[in-house]
Amino acid sequence: MELLPGELEQIQRDTAEILQHHGTERRELIPIIQEIQEKLGYLPKPAMEQVARALDIPEVDVYSVATFYNQFRLNPPGKHQIKVCMGTACHMMGGHIVMDSFERRLEIKEGETTPDREFSLERVACVGCCALAPVVVVDEKVEAKVSPIRVDGILLTFEIEKSEQEKEQEKEQQEGGTEE
d(C-alpha 64, C-alpha 72), whole Å = 11
Contact present, 75 and 67 (Cβ < 8 Å): no
Asked whether position 126 contacts ligand FES by CB under 6 A, the answer is: yes
**Facing residues of 137 across strands?**
83, 142
Is-cis flag, bond preceding 5, omega within 30? no
Question: At its nearest, how many Å lie between ligand FES and the CB of residue 154?
Answer: 17
Beta bridge partners of 113: 120
| Strands 80-85 and 136-138, sheet pairing | antiparallel
- What's the closest the beta carbon of residue 98 comes to ligand FES, in angstroms? 11
Does residue 85 belong to the site contacting ligand FES (CB under 6 A)? yes
Q: How far apart are CA 118 and CA 125, in angstroms?
A: 23
- CB-nearer residue toward ligand FES: 76 or 87: 87
Q: How far is the CB of 92 from ligand FES (least distance, A)?
A: 8
The H-or-E segment that residue 137 falls in is: strand 136-138
| Residue with Cβ nearer ligand FES (11 or 82) | 82
Q: Which is nearer to ligand FES, 57 or 126 (CB)?
A: 126
Q: Which of 130, 150, 158, 162 binds ligand FES (CB under 6 A)?
A: 130
Measured from the CB atom, is 54 or 98 closer to ligand FES? 98
Nearest distance in Å: CB 134, ligand FES: 7
Say whether residue 87 binds ligand FES (CB under 6 A). yes
Question: What's the number of CA atoms in the CB half-sphere (13 Å) around residue 170?
Answer: 6
Q: Smallest distance from the beta carbon of 151 to ligand FES, in angstroms?
A: 16
Distance CA(108)–CA(75), nearest Å, equals: 12
**Judged by CB under 6 A, does residue 138 bind ligand FES?**
no
**Chain residues that interact with ligand FES, rule: CB under 6 A:** 85, 87-90, 126-130, 133, 135
